[in-house]
Amino acid sequence: MTEPVRAAGNREPTAGPIAGAAAASSSRPAMRGERGHEGAQADAVKHVATAAALQREPGGRVSLPYRVGLLLASMVGGLSSVCIKQLLLPIQVSQLAPHATATAFALIASLGACAGLIAAPLAGALSDRTVSRWGRRRPWIVGGTLIAVVGLLTMAWAGTIPLLLLGEVLAQLGVDTILATVTALIPDQIPERQRSGPAALNGMAPIVGGVLGLVLVTRLTAPSVVWQGYVVLATVSVGFMSVFLLVLRERPLSRSEVTPATRRAFLAGFVQPLGSRDFACTFLSRALVFLSFTVLGSYLFFYLSQGLHLPVAVAAQVVTTFQGLSTLSLILVAVLAGMLAQRFQRLKPCIITGALVMAGSLLLMVAVPTWSALLVAAVLFGGGFGAVLGVDIALAIRVLPKEAERGKDLGLISTAIFLPLIASPLIGALILTTLHSFAALFLVAALASVLAAVFIVPIRAVR
């Protein structure tokens, strides 16, 4: 169950709840009647060490099963979202609303993104305060998985646009609850010196999951029979999450560790982190780099078919080739960036360099509109994005304002993905209807990447 929000004074802990309690108990002798409370604190500290040890190998490193489970759980977001947006939803909308396809698709995709915008920080905040014998993140991971599956199956057999919209909203609520709470486990359970590798896996996993979802649906089902694709995605998602839950060990959070707060303070907590310069810069940089990624992904096909006048079948093949090269480059560079960041403890250079490389690849597409240049741009764009994703979660964890509110604040960082999903169609429509130029659109995307690099520079919490 979730600890209710209670009225109290404006006390702010100066350290984590367990560390603070331990320090307080060691500063004075035990009084009569306090022995039970101190015993509970000692048990809590013991539970922390036990839960953390279960995630690590004897040598102190994060265990391989835990890394694999974390990767699979992190892939669930992209597994459903990307495949639905790029393949299943457009086909299904065209079948249900053949005379209003564009409008219906935009409505469903936008409201789904809005649901994710709300779900990630709210689920993270509530998980921060959840008192349960199964831990604070696990109940939300299980609940998010169930909601996502219900949403996917609702979409599978939706016969109307309103029912399809309901399924998309449920699927996004579930998937983004998973994303927020799984990401929060990284600072919960992994020592700081070992976070770069798992954070890199977590950062790139949704993109890799999206490609995997497309491959599974196109190879195992008939894409025009959309219910088959949704069932495959739901089945694989449950399988991935089950593997992670088998290796996840999480200590319960005691009621004494939950800092009381008024309802107003709870709601204000969703805005307060943006008052921290490091957090705000990280948020803006992530939103801008994903805006660049989203604009290119959304309009690449239209650029090829309308801008370069390629036949539809050829344009589709080029998009597939572009995404394949880009994703391969992304994976290789993200893993390498995570390893280098862990070794040298330097995060900012990776993101700055990666964002600038992304901008350079977009400028190459504008300046040299040829097949060869497009292939080079695919490798560069994927590599640059991989350099960002390889360390951006590790950077976000380092700039969190409050240790006790990790879930909420990482959920806010996750919303930097959904804002571009909402904004990119508006930006694209504005530029293409007024300037009628894909070059101008890609220049705006390149500018977003440059600004993403600029906002990393003022951050002081990391090098």
How far apart CA 292 and CA 183 sit, in angstroms, is 23
Q: DSSP secondary structure string, 412-449?
A: HHHHHHHHHHHHHHHHHHHHHHHT--HHHHHHHHHHHH
Assigned token pair, 49: 């060490």
- CA atoms of 446 and 366, how far apart (whole Å): 10
Contact status, residue 240 vs residue 76, Cβ threshold 8 Å: yes
Give the span between the Cα atoms of 290 and 444, in whole angstroms. 13
Which residues touch 152 (CB under 8 Å, ≥6 apart)?
A: 80, 167, 171, 230, 231, 233, 234, 237
Burial class (CB in 10 A: 0-12, 13-18, 19+), 353: middle
DSSP bridge pairs for 130: 2
The HSE-up count of residue 44 (CA atoms within 13 Å, CB side) is 20
Pair of tokens at residue 139: 């109940």
Residue given tokens 């195992």 in the structure block: 220
CA distances, 36 to each of 28, 43, 392, 452 (Å) = 16, 10, 43, 52
Give the type of residue at 388: V
Helices 17-26 and 35-54: crossing angle, nearest 10°? 140
Bridge partners of 2, per DSSP, are: 130
| pLDDT tens-digit profile, the chain (463 residues) | 444 443 333 333 433 333 433 333 333 344 434 444 444 444 444 444 444 444 554 445 678 888 899 999 999 978 877 778 777 888 888 889 888 777 788 788 888 888 888 888 899 888 888 888 888 899 999 999 999 999 999 999 999 999 999 999 999 999 999 988 998 898 888 887 777 778 888 888 888 888 888 888 888 888 778 899 999 999 999 999 999 999 998 887 777 777 776 677 777 777 777 778 888 999 999 999 999 998 888 788 778 878 888 786 777 778 778 888 888 999 899 888 888 877 777 889 999 999 999 999 999 999 988 888 899 999 999 999 999 988 888 888 888 887 778 888 888 888 888 888 788 878 888 888 888 888 999 999 999 999 999 999 999 877 7
Domains of the chain (ranges; CATH) run: 63-250 (1.20.1250.20), 272-463 (1.20.1250.20)
Asked if 287 and 420 count as a contact pair (C-beta separation under 8 A), the reply is yes
pTM (2 decimals)? 0.75
234 vs 40: CA distance, rounded Å: 41
Spell out a b/e string for 49-87, using b for 16 or more CB atoms within 10 Å of the CB, else e. Answer: eebbeebbeeeeebeeebbebbbbbbbbbbbbbbbbbbb
